[in-house]
Amino acid sequence: MDLSLFALSGKRALITGSSQGIGFALAQGLQTAGAQVVLNGRDTGKLAAAADTLGGAETLAFDATDHAAVKEAINRFEGATGPIDILINNAGMQHRTALEDFPADAFERLLQTNIASVFHVGQACARHMIERGAGKIINIASVQTALARPGIAPYTATKGAVANLTKGMATDWAAKGLQCNAIAPGYFDTPLNAALVADADFSAWLEKRTPAGRWGQVEELVGAAIFLASDASSFVNGHTLFVDGGITASL
C-alpha cells in the first residue's frame, strides 16, 4: 500500500475553533502529517498560546458566525499568504436546558455557531478551492447527528443540519474537484463536555452504553481527519464518519 496517499506535506489546513479541545487536537495531528496549520478563533491570546505550543502554526482570528468578517479574512489570507487546501469546520457550542424551557436567544446562538458558521466559512474557502479545482472540507458533526438525549434538542438539530449541509456541499462541489465530508465524534473528554466528564453517574452510564466501554480521547479523531484531508479519500464525498466507540451501532 502506498502510504504517501495519507501525506499532507505542502498542504495548508484551516481549523476553526482550534485553540483548544478537538480543534487543537486535529490541528496538531494534521501538522504531524505534514500540513501547515492555521488556527482560528476569536480570542487572539488563546490563539497565540496554542500556536506557540504547536510551533510554526499560523493564526487567523475571525468570528465564524459573521459572514462579512469571514469572507474578508479568508480572501485577505488567500491573497497575502497562500491557498487554504483543507478546511475543518470545528467551531461549535453546547447549551443544556429542557426543551420546554430552552431560551430563544440560546437557540439562535446554537444555530449561528454550529451550522451558520459551517456555511459562512465553507462558502468563503470553497470559492477559492473551486478556482483551483481541488479542496477538502471536513465538517465536525456529532453522535447527536443520529441520536438525541434530553436537554439538548436544539444542539441535536444543528448537528443533524451539519450532516445534511455536508451532503449538499458534496452535491454542489464534487464535480468542481472538492471532497466534502463530516466526522461525527461520540462522547469525548473535551472542555465542552467537562460537566459530563465530572458527573460520575453520567460517566458510568456512558461506559455501559458505549460498546468500547469508555470516553473517547481527542487524539483518536486524528486518523479520520487525516484520511478525509488526504488523497486517500479522493472518491469519498458527502459521507459522515462516526468515531464513537460503537454507540450508534447498538441499543
Cα 4–Cα 137–Cα 221 angle in degrees, nearest 5: 65
**Catalytic-residue membership of 187:** no
Q: For the packed helices 21-32 and 44-54, what is the interaxial angle rounded to 10 degrees? A: 30
C-alpha cell at 29: 495531528
Exactly one of 155, 173, 187, 188 is catalytic; which is it?
Answer: 155
Convert 168-206 to b/e letters by CB count within 10 Å (16 or more is b). Answer: ebbeebeeeebbbbbbbbbbbbbebbeebbeeeeebeeb
Which residues contact residue 98 at a Cβ distance below 8 angstroms, ignoring those fewer than 6 apart?
150, 151
Q: How far apart are CA 83 and CA 102, in angstroms?
A: 41
Catalytic residues: 155
